[in-house]
Amino acid sequence: MSLLKELQHITERTYQQGSGINLEKFVIGQQRFWDLHRQSAETSRELSDIARTFFRVTGNRLYLAIYYSDQMIKSLERHDPRRGVNEKNIFPFIVFIEELNHAIHGALKFLSGERNLQREDFIRDLELLSKIDSYFTLKFFVAYFNRSKQLEQWDRLWLRHHLFEQWDYDYTDHSLRDRYLETNTLGEKYTRFLDGLESRQRVTEIRKFRGMTYPRKRQYILMLP
């Protein structure tokens, strides 16, 4: 099973919701990426060309594309996270998970009736969910290679550093900077809250949380101790 398919199964199983699509069929190459990139909104031009997820709704159909650069794929092939997560693969693995996560949640939201996929609240919701899901996916992979099969405190600190602390949101566009700073801050706080719950409580919590609107998610996290 490919890494992409394995992560899709993990995410959809976590939320007990299936998209009904094989996301491997929606991965595009570099030329198609640049075609879509040129058609994107002006603010999107500042986003990374390492990986990207594209959505377009026409009528009652969702068009979806996921792009990963050749350099990133080669890095993950050389240092497959399924053989261990370390300094050599942590960055590309985070990017890989986050873009896949955008595609899954975007598709699930479309299936639930969402149609305005360019709305700022929709985009922020995908960014927030990707931070949360990435953290717990990374925890799963790191713990698997520990002798105890448990995550150590140092592992959590290391993961939090790479996922929440080292990113530079120095965008020219203020709306982009605000978007990523806010969702990163909210994701960091919410995952700390989740870490304090029992595992069964945690699953119930994130399933309930996913069903909230983005403004409700934001308010909910800000009210947490």
Segment 68-122, tens digit of pLDDT: 999 999 999 999 999 999 999 999 999 999 999 999 999 999 999 998 888 999 9
pLDDT above 90: residue 39: no
CB proximity list for 18: less than 8 A, separation 6 or greater: 12
Specify if 181 maps to a domain: yes
Which pLDDT score is estimated for 59? 84
Assign 43 a pLDDT band (cuts: 50, 70, 90): low
Q: pLDDT tens digits for 125-163? A: 999 999 999 999 999 999 988 888 888 889 999 999 999
Assign 15 a pLDDT band (cuts: 50, 70, 90): very high
51 touches 94 (CB < 8 A): no
Q: Which residue has the higher pLDDT, 170 or 77?
A: 77
User: How many domains does the chain divide into?
Assistant: 1
Structure letter (DSSP) for residue 170:
-
Structure letter (DSSP) for residue 42:
G
Which pLDDT score is estimated for 215? 97
Specify if 60 maps to a domain: yes
Specify if 88 maps to a domain: yes
CB proximity list for 1: less than 8 A, separation 6 or greater: 9
Residue from 144, 86, 101, 121 nearest 218 by CA: 121
Quote the CA–CA distance of 204 and 184 in Å, as a whole number. Answer: 22
pLDDT above 90: residue 26: yes
Residues of the chain with pLDDT > 70, as a percent, come to 99
Quote the CA–CA distance of 125 and 34 in Å, as a whole number. Answer: 25
Q: Which domain, by its residues, includes 95?
A: 3-220
Tell me the mean pLDDT in the region 33-41.
86
Specify if 178 maps to a domain: yes
Specify if 225 maps to a domain: no
Assign 178 a pLDDT band (cuts: 50, 70, 90): very high
Chain mean position to CA 198:
23
Specify if 98 maps to a domain: yes
pLDDT above 70: residue 217: yes
Amino acid residing at 95:
V
pLDDT above 90: residue 10: yes
